[in-house]
Amino acid sequence: KPKCYPLHSVVLLTILILAFFGYGFLSSRHLMPAGVRAGHSVAVRDPDGWQVVTLSRMLYPQPMVLTPSRSDALTVTPWLAPIIWEGTFNIDLLNEQFWLQNLTVGLTVFAVKKYMVFLKAFLETAEQHFMVGHHVTYYVFTDRPADVPHVLLKEGRQLVVLSVRSYARWQDVSMHRMEMISNFSEQRFRHEVDYLVCSDVDMKFWDHVGVEILSPLFGTLHPAFYTANRKAFTYERRRRSQAYIPWDEGDFYYIGAFFGGSVAEVQQLTSACHQAMMVDKAKGIEAVWHDESHLNKYLLHHKPTKVLSPEYLWGDWLLDWHPVLKKLRFVTVPKNRQKIRNP
């Protein structure tokens, strides 16, 4: 005669067995596939969603606790975000980590009206220096899609043309950039890329710009103000504007030509800036440096998780190359600004 057990006892025993084996499978110590040999690289996710990356054996100089990589420049903010200078990172280590995660980086650029003349050089130099070896999608916003130049792209990289309307003033084009990036982030970018980098088009990449810049939210120090006192920053000082920053506040002055982060963070930033500009417009006021003023207000209250040094954006109008700059990676293109900005 078979033994009969109470139903609740059977259920309890089943739960205990599932819990025991489930823990073994879900524990981060058991996430590596059995077929992966010791020392091989693998990227997996633990139950909390964090990325667990096991690097392959690599040889590189040992970091020394009492020997800072840079002693001539600030390398970490008061809120413990790294400031990225040449010599503060090992690109081989970083590349290995990002390759294992199989991430895609989106790069947005606006080539509207006569600014189309800069697009070919921008894309060609990006192919040489931007996120080399990684998956990249170039998002070109333009009112002249037929004029987008053909540029030979490496494997794993693609170009997407997004048609947008033009505006009478270059200031309006610049400010509506925030609105368009926000809308496309919500509708499209979040489904296609992991990180979003937003750049001006009148630029050329001169040297390596890679995954060392990637972070949930990054901003770039303006090359004209990285040594200045906050009272010299060209923040919006009128209280009526949503971009207003008092004289006794401010960490750094960030340039509007190069910022980014995860798609979710960029969508939040651009949406907030656009909404603030709409409030200003209803009041009949326009921030002194347009979208850049609103970007600085946002980054004051939403601290970036990485800050890029002026090595990552240098102006052609700046003749003094300070010794602290070991490399110039991304620079503006010399031009007749007044002629280009006029229709």
Q: Which two tokens stand for residue 259?
A: 């910022």
pLDDT reported for residue 296:
98
Does residue 146 share a domain with residue 11?
Answer: no
- The verdict on 109 and 185 lying in the same domain is yes
What residue numbers does the annotated binding site cover? 110-112, 115, 200-202, 222, 234, 292
In whole angstroms, give the CA distance from residue 290 to residue 277.
8
CA proximity to 113, closest of 165, 162, 161 = 165
C-alpha dihedral, 83 to 86 to 89 to 93, nearest 10°: 140
Tell me, what's the pLDDT at 52?
62
pTM for the whole thing? 0.82
Does 165 lie in the same domain as 245? yes
* Domain co-membership, 130 together with 208: yes
**Per-residue pLDDT at 60:** 83
- The answer on 217 and 137 residing in a single domain is yes
Asked whether residue 75 is domain-assigned, the answer is: no
Residue 119 corresponds to which amino acid? L
| Residue 60: inside a domain | no
Cα gap 177→33, rounded to integer Å? 44
Q: Are 161 and 50 within one domain?
A: no
270 domain residue, yes or no: yes
Strand ranges inside 275-338, DSSP E: 306-308, 330-332
Distance CA 218, CA 229 (A): 21
Per the domain annotation, does 331 fall within a domain?
A: yes
Binding residues for UDP-N-acetyl-alpha-D-galactosamine: 110-112, 115, 200-202
**pLDDT tens over the chain, length 343 residues:** 444 445 555 455 555 555 444 444 333 333 333 332 233 333 333 444 456 667 778 888 888 888 888 999 999 999 999 999 999 999 999 999 999 999 999 999 999 989 999 999 999 999 999 999 999 999 999 999 999 999 999 999 999 999 997 776 666 666 689 999 999 999 999 999 999 999 999 999 999 999 999 999 999 999 999 999 999 999 999 999 999 999 999 999 999 999 999 999 999 999 999 999 999 999 999 999 999 999 999 999 999 999 999 999 998 777 677 889 999 999 998 765 444 444 3
263-272: b or e for each residue (b if 16 or more CB lie within 10 Å)?
bebbbbbbbb
Whether residue 153 is found in the same domain as residue 229: yes
State the maximum Cα–Cα separation within the chain, in Å, rounded to a whole number. Answer: 98
Q: Alpha-carbon distance 145 to 125, whole Å?
A: 20
Evaluate whether residue 176 is within a structural domain.
yes
What CATH number is associated with residue 125? 3.90.550.10
- How far, in Å, CA of 147 to CA of 66, rounded? 54
The rounded distance, in Å, linking the Cα atoms of 87 and 89 is 6
Q: Are residues 106 and 234 in the same domain?
A: yes
Give the residue numbers spanning the domain of 320: 83-341
Q: How many domains does the chain have?
A: 2
Are residue 31 and residue 156 in the same domain, yes or no?
Answer: no
| Residues annotated within a binding site for Mn(2+) | 200, 202
On whether both 43 and 96 belong to a single domain, the answer is no
Q: Which residues are catalytic?
A: 292
pLDDT given for residue 343 in this prediction? 39
Q: With respect to residue 301, please indicate whether it lies within any of the assigned structural domains.
A: yes
190 part of a folded domain:
yes
The verdict on residue 1 lying in a domain is no
Instruction: Please tell me the distance from the alpha carbon of residue 181 to that of residue 198, in angstroms, as a whole number.
Output: 9
Quick one: 132 and 198 in the same domain?
yes
Whether residue 219 is found in the same domain as residue 307: yes
